C-alpha cells in the first residue's frame, strides 16, 4: 500500500535526575557532597533511508519515544545517557509541525538527518552546589523535561521525469515497457491508484528515474476524481512526459485540460519542460489523427512523438528527448526551513468583480486568471471546460447578479470575452 502522508507523535527522552548524596567511607569524616549528574535524554531524529519509497511503515506505529536519561549515582557517578531514536523516512519527505503547519525540514539526501525533538538535559548532582559557605548542600537538579511534538510527514517522490495524462492514456504501459517496474495495467479508468517509480536505462552510462502519476481529470486540483493527493509528486520532477491517448475523443482538449489542472494546483508545474507523446499508434484510428494533432501541438510550441507503448515503437527517441531536456532543466530546490509567519489565510479560488470604464466587467482572482492563461481558446472543448470552471467557482452567478447582459465584455487577466446567455 502506498502511504504518502501521516501524522505522528514524537517525544524525546527526559533528562535523568541529579543525586543528593554525601561521601561515606570508613575513617573519612565529612566526606562531602558527591551526588552524580543525571544522564541526558535521547534525541529523536528523522533520517533518510534510500531503500524506502513510501511512508507505509508509519501506518500502524504513530508514537515514537526516545529513552530517558538515567539518574545520577553516588561517588559522582553520572547517569547513562538515553539512546537516541532514529526514525527512517524515504527521500523526499517534508516535515511539518502538525499544530502550527510550520515547515521544519525537507529530507532529500541519503543519510540526511533532522533533529525533531531534543532530549532533556540531565540534572546536576549536589556536588555542583557546594560553596565555602555551603559545604553540605542538599540540593540537586531534576532532569530537563522531554520535548514532544506532533509532526505531519508528507512524501513527494523524487524522480527525474514524471508521466502525466488522462486515465487510460497508457502511462503505466509506458513505464512497464521501458523499465522493470510492474504497475497494474487494465483497460478501465483509474487502473493506477498510486504513483509508481521505474529506473530507465538509456545506455550503459545513462539512466533516468521515471514516475507514473495516477490519471488526472477535470477538477483534480479541487479533489475531484482521485483528487490532488498525487499532484504533489509531480512537483519534484524536472521534466514532464505528457501522454496523449490516440483514441480519445479530443486529444488536444485533454492536453489543455491536464495543463490547466497542473497550473491550478501549482503555477510552477505549468512552467516545467514538457515533451508530448501521442500513444496507441498501433491502432489505425490513432494513425489517422496523428498529423492533425502534431500540427496543432507544433503551433503551440510543443514537440510531439508518435509512440506505441504496447509494441514499444519509437520509445527511445522520446526518452532521449526527455533526457536532453533534463540537462538544462533546473534542479528542484529543497523547501527552505521557514520561520512561521502568521497571516490571514486567503482562498486561492476567491475572486472579485469590478466595472470597467467601457462598461465591461473585470474578474480578478488567482485561480481563474491562472486558468484563463492556460486555456486554448481556439479549442471549443477547452472553452467549455473553462465555462464550467466559471460556474463551479460561482463567477457566472456573481456576474448575473452584477447586471451583466448579452454582448457585454468580461476581462479575465489579459483576455477579453464576450458574454453570451
As given in the structure block, the three cell numbers for residue 198 are 521505474
Q: For residue range 39-80, list pLDDT tens digits in order.
A: 999 999 999 998 887 788 888 889 999 999 999 999 999 999
Q: How far apart are the first and last CA of the chain?
A: 48
**CA angle at residue 322 from 319 to 326, to 5 degrees?**
135
Q: What is the dihedral of CA 215, 218, 220, 225, to 10 degrees?
A: -70
Q: What per-residue confidence (pLDDT) applies to 374?
A: 63
Q: What per-residue confidence (pLDDT) applies to 343?
A: 41
Per-residue pLDDT of the chain (421 residues; tens, 9 = 90+): 456 789 999 999 999 988 889 998 888 877 889 999 999 999 999 999 988 877 888 888 899 999 999 999 999 999 999 999 999 998 888 899 999 888 898 898 889 999 999 998 888 888 988 888 878 888 788 888 889 999 999 887 767 888 888 887 888 788 888 876 554 444 544 444 456 777 788 887 788 878 777 655 444 334 444 445 556 667 778 889 999 998 888 899 889 888 888 888 778 777 888 999 999 999 999 999 999 999 999 888 888 999 998 898 999 999 999 899 988 887 766 554 443 433 445 676 789 999 988 889 999 987 888 778 767 777 776 677 788 888 888 999 999 898 888 888 999 988 898 888 7
The domains of the chain, with CATH numbers, are 1-155 (2.70.210.12), 161-328 (3.40.50.300), 352-418 (3.30.300.350)
Q: For residue range 144-175, list pLDDT tens digits in order.
A: 888 999 999 988 776 788 888 888 788 878 88
d(C-alpha 86, C-alpha 116), whole Å: 10
Amino acid at each position: 500500500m502506498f502511504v504518502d502522508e501521516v501524522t505522528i507523535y514524537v517525544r524525546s527522552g527526559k533528562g535523568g535526575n541529579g543525586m543528593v548524596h554525601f561521601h561515606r567511607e570508613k575513617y573519612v569524616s565529612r566526606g562531602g557532597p558527591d551526588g552524580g549528574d543525571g544522564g541526558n535524554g535521547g534525541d529523536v531524529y528523522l533520517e533518510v533511508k534510500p531503500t524506502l519509497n513510501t511512508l507505509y511503515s508509519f501506518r500502524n506505529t504513530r508514537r515514537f519515544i526516545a529513552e530517558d536519561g538515567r539518574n545520577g549515582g553516588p561517588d559522582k557517578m553520572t547517569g547513562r545517557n538515553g539512546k537516541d531514536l532514529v526514525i527512517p523516512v524515504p527521500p523526499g519527505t517534508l516535515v511539518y509541525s502538525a499544530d502550527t503547519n510550520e515547515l521544519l525540514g525537507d529530507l532529500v539526501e541519503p543519510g540526511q538527518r533532522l533533529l525533531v525533538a531534543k532530549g532533556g538535559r540531565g540534572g546536576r548532582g549536589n556536588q555542583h552546589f557546594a560553596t565555602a559557605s555551603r559545604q553540605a548542600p542538599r540540593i540537586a537538579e531534576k532532569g530537563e523535561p522531554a520535548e514532544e511534538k506532533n509532526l505531519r510527514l508528507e512524501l513527494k517522490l523524487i524522480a527525474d521525469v514524471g508521466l502525466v495524462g488522462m486515465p487510460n492514456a497508457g502511462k503505466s504501459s509506458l513505464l512497464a515497457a521501458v523499465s522493470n517496474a510492474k504497475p497494474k495495467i487494465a483497460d478501465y479508468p483509474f487502473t493506477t491508484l498510486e504513483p509508481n517509480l521505474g529506473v530507465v536505462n538509456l545506455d550503459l552510462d545513462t539512466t533516468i528515474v521515471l514516475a507514473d502519476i495516477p490519471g488526472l481529470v477535470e477538477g483534480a486540483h479541487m479533489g475531484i476524481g482521485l483528487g490532488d493527493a498525487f499532484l504533489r509528486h509531480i512537483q519534484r520532477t524536472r521534466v514532464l512526459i505528457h501522454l496523449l491517448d490516440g483514441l480519445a475523443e479530443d486529444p488536444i482538449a485533454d492536453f489543455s485540460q491536464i495543463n490547466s489542472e497542473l497550473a491550478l494546483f501549482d503555477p510552477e508545474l505549468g512552467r516545467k519542460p514538457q515533451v508530448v507523446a501521442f500513444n496507441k499508434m498501433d491502432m489505425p484510428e490513432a494513425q489517422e489523427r496523428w498529423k492533425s494533432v502534431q500540427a496543432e501541438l507544433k503551433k503551440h510550441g510543443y514537440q510531439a512523438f508518435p509512440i506505441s507503448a504496447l509494441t514499444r515503437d519509437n520509445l527511445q527517441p522520446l526518452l532521449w528527448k526527455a533526457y536532453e531536456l533534463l540537462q538544462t532543466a533546473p534542479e528542484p530546490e529543497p523547501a527552505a526551513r521557514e520561520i512561521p509567519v502568521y497571516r490571514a489565510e486567503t482562498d486561492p479560488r476567491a475572486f472579485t468583480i469590478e466595472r470597467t470604464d467601457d462598461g465591461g466587467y473585470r474578474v480578478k482572482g488567482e485561480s481563474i486568471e491562472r486558468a484563463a492563461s492556460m486555456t486554448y481558446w481556439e479549442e471549443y472543448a477547452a472553452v467549455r471546460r473553462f465555462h464550467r470552471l466559471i460556474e463551479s467557482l460561482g463567477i457566472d452567478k456573481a456576474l448575473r447578479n452584477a447586471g451583466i447582459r448579452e454582448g457585454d465584455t468580461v476581462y479575465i487577466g489579459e483576455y477579453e470575452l464576450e458574454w453570451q446567455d
